[in-house]
């Protein structure tokens, strides 16, 4: 979805992102002001990349990513 939609839906919300991959939706939700963002993916590589991307964007406090099989 466009960033404007993410901003409207996610501001102040608790967001769950399934199949987060590199975390682009999760990061945009965090940037939009989500209270918290939980991302899950079946790939450890994807979890590692999304976690690193959250750190690079200063979102480690609000965006967490874990593996789920």
Alpha-carbon torsion (28, 30, 47, 17), positive or negative? negative
Q: What is the pLDDT of residues 5-64, one digit of tens each?
A: 888 899 999 999 999 999 999 999 999 999 999 999 999 999 999 999 999 999 999 999
Q: Tell me the C-alpha distance between 29 and 43, whole Å.
A: 21
Q: Where do the H-state alpha helices sit in the chain?
A: 3-10, 24-31, 44-56
Q: Tell me the C-alpha distance between 21 and 39, whole Å.
A: 9
């Amino acid at each position: 979805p466009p960033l404007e939609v993410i901003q409207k839906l996610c501001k102040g919300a608790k967001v769950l992102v399934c199949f987060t991959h590199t975390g682009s939706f999760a990061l945009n939700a965090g940037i939009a002001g989500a209270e918290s963002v939980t991302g899950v993916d079946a790939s450890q590589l994807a979890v590692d990349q999304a976690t690193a991307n959250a750190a690079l964007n200063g979102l480690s406090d609000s965006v967490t990513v874990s593996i789920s099989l």
